[in-house]
Amino acid sequence: MKSLPLHQLYKACVLKEFTFKTTRQLDPLAEIVGQNRAQEAVRFALAMPHGGYNVYAVGRNGLGKRTMMLRYLEHHADTDHKSHDWCYVANFEEPRVPRVLRLPTGKGQALKQDMDRLMSRLMKVIPQTFDSDSFLERAEQLKSEYGKKQEDELEKVAAQAKRKKVSLTVTTPGGYRLVAMQGSEPHTVESFEKLTEEQRARFEDTINKLEKRLRQALRKLAEWEQEYVDKQQALNVETLEGIAGPQFEEIIEKYSAEPEVVDYLKAVRHDLADNLDIFLEDNEEQAAIAYASLDRKMPRRYQINLLVHRKDNEVPMVVEDNPTHHNLFGYVESVTFKGTVFTDFSLIRPGSLHKANGGYLLMDANKVLEQPFVWDGLKRALRSHSLQMNSLERELTLSGTISLEPEAIPLDVKIVLFGDRETWMLLQEYDPEFAELFRVTADFENEMMRTSESQLLYAKFIASLVREKKLLHCDQKAVARIIEHSARMAEHQDRLSLHAADIANLMREADYWARQANANMVRATHVEQALVSARYRSSRIRDQFHDSIREGTTLVATSGTRTGQVNALSVLSTGGFEFGLSNRITASCYYGDGDVIDIERDVKLGGNIHSKGVMILTSWLASHFAATEPMHLSVSLTFEQNYGEVDGDSASLAELCAMVSALSGIPVRQDLAITGSVNQFGDVQPIGGANEKIEGFFQTCHLTSFTGTQGVIMPASNVQNLMLENQVLEAVRRDTFSIYAISRVEEAIELLLGRPAGKADAKGRYPAQSVFGVIQKRLDRMREQEREEHQDQDKTKDKDSSTRH
């Protein structure tokens, strides 16, 4: 068989196809590269005006789902969609239920500034005006007027009582006493008792009549008192209107297009007169709350709590990295003053849902599900299309303090959740509401097809990363080397990896080495240096395995021949770094009933897939050598020097070759390693990690003795996966290392054992000098011996029987 030519081992970029010299000449990519399916899903979700069309983005971590989604939203968001500013203000009728105001973008900040200016002016003007001589004179005149009317009314009652020898005295404010008089002195109990019955009765009758008259007078006094209060209030309103009215009219006119704001301003205007003491007295509690909440010392009752404000009408895009209940739904702060906890509407704080309202909120699904009460709260908000701020402490019944219940805010937001497929499947299975609320799945690809067009698109993607990460620009060859490495990551010559995080890391490290070399541009040598450096940093465990091979602790033969012994190949992964190793598989045969004993399985070191592979070998062996007669040879298989679990079927071809060698007695070439899976019909099936396995055996040969005849046998269906390192390619170019691609078991046997496997004729007989023919001849001899033994036993039985007769 011929080994694979060089061009099949590595697919390099054709530089002539590149229409650019450096990434500086390329426009940044606005689209999601290679994600047409996911892009269409996102476009559909954004265009759907109905509820429930939120997005769950499925894909591996590191694909750059978030970055690509943000980039797509920036270029394709609905700019015609109007966002709003949201404010909470005092509800003068229901203080525990603050009102919410919705304003056009930018108006919220303007309203807050207008109210702050108005209140700052009133804080100065109101005390001055209500302490002025003109106001005090009018207030005093009003007070004197009503005071005189009260005194005159009481004087009338007192004079009437005096004429009837009864004294009217004032005891306490609002308390009056009528006492019978004896001349100029009031009667004592003793002197009153000395009066005749008629005199006492006359006094009592007089006092009763006077009491009725006094009650009538007191009712008049109460009415006048209320009248005085009303007139004083009217004076306050008149005075307040004189100083604040024009400014209120100006603000109301400014916000006349916003009915909610106009209603609120009128309510403030009406409430001011009832709460003048806020401006006229120093309120220690208000000052303490303002200090604790980092606010200015303003009348908190009339503050505007600007919950969400935006400078322009761009669609909000919020990424919430820590979706706790408070961070997502907002919360109500509280302050402590003299051991008492206070709160009000000005201490309401927004969450991510408030900030993203009218736009898009991006979150990690696992982080949302990890936080208590968040998932249920999010579903509740999406179902009701409203954002109700509930106290988490009250939900948990941890606090009995009085809290606020702010008015709900209408919710219009698209949620984008990022997560893996397992989480998505679990939610589909166990949460019936999930499918109703997240009707769109954006399924992100891991790879894209490698064509001339897609390579140019990938180059633009690299240019986007350069600009986004502020890296040095890459020249043509550097871009080609990155694309080739991407194909290796995808483990396919005609595909490119979309794992953006790995590509970005490679570019950062190449940028570092370019700057270290004082280069003005990233070149292919810097990319190669970055790859070598990253490989060296992660290869400590691999080097320990190599040391054990070099020292002879791990037994590996890379030259000569050996019966029943084959070099198989495996891949080990250590935290993202994968490398190939050579594993010795041995087989021995002995008289038995045709079983294949898998030592790994029997000692519970073999995984299910590996055990399945060995059972397939048993089936293949029986179909070839025990189709019509029993097979009297059994085989045992094992991975030598293996002390951990073995799984996978990529060594089943090597195990089959070891078995065939043991059964035929023909030695196996040790300068060849083999990898591949096999089915019951002898077809060689593809495996994973082809590059790492070939490179692993190549390094093993250099660690032992590099003879120039060594090579690797691999499935032909894996040739498209080859993107080998330069060292291996150079050895192939010099014809000192070979790679063979096979499709059938017979080809592998011929390469390893040095003679044809053999093809059965119509009678099922194999050529005598073929490998299968040797095995068949050996089994025939054993069957013939068994038949002779049975005949001898039968003759002995017949002789014994005739002797007895």
Q: Annotated active-site positions, please?
A: 650, 693
Give the bridge partners for 484, in sequence order: none
Longest dimension (CA), the chain: 173
3-state secondary structure (DSSP) of residue 498: coil
Whose CA is closest to 620, among 665, 659, 570, 587?
659
Whose CA is closest to 10, among 488, 430, 367, 628?
488
Cβ 589 vs Cβ 633: under 8 Å: yes
What end-to-end distance do the CA atoms of the chain give, in Å? 68
Cβ 330 vs Cβ 350: under 8 Å: yes
Give the bridge partners for 165, in sequence order: none
The b/e string for 2-31 (b: 16+ C-beta within 10 A; e otherwise) is ebbeeeebbbebeeeebeeebbeebeebeb
- Give residue for tokens 């940028």: 511
Cβ 546 vs Cβ 703: under 8 Å: yes
> Cα separations (Å) of 751 from 377, 637, 657, 695, 756?
66, 21, 10, 20, 8
Helix or strand run (H / E) with residue 668: strand 668-669
3-state secondary structure (DSSP) of residue 580: strand
Contacts 24+ apart (CB under 8 A), 119-124: 119/298, 119/299, 119/302, 119/303, 120/298, 121/247, 122/243, 122/244, 122/272, 122/279, 122/299, 123/279, 123/298, 123/299
The b/e string for 457-474 (b: 16+ C-beta within 10 A; e otherwise) is bbbbbbbbbbeeeebbbb
Cβ 513 vs Cβ 533: under 8 Å: yes
Q: What is the dihedral of CA 149, 154, 159, 162, to 10 degrees?
A: -170
Q: Which amino acid is at 576?
A: G
Cβ 727 vs Cβ 611: under 8 Å: no
Number of Cβ within a 10 Å radius of residue 711: 24
Q: Which amino acid is at 719?
A: V
> Cα separations (Å) of 79 from 73, 74, 75, 82, 527?
10, 10, 10, 8, 40
Cβ 439 vs Cβ 52: under 8 Å: yes
Residue 45 neighbours by CB under 8 Å, 6+ apart:
53, 54, 55, 414, 440, 442
Q: How far apart are CA 594 and CA 583, in angstroms?
A: 25
**674: buried, middle or exposed (CB in 10 Å: 19+, 13-18, 0-12)?**
buried
Q: How far apart are CA 371 and CA 322, in angstroms?
A: 9
Number of Cβ within a 10 Å radius of residue 636: 19
Helices (H), 131-179: 133-163
Number of Cβ within a 10 Å radius of residue 239: 20
Q: Which amino acid is at 35?
A: Q
Contacts 24+ apart (CB under 8 A), 37-40: 37/442, 37/443, 37/445, 38/442, 38/443, 38/444, 38/445, 39/72
Q: What angle do CA 460, 463, 468 make, to 5 degrees?
A: 125
Instruction: Show the 3-state SS of 359-425.
Output: CEEEEEHHHHHHCCCHHHHHHHHHHHCEECCCCHHHHCCCCCCCCCCCCCEECCCEEEEEECHHHHH
Give the bridge partners for 668, in sequence order: 562
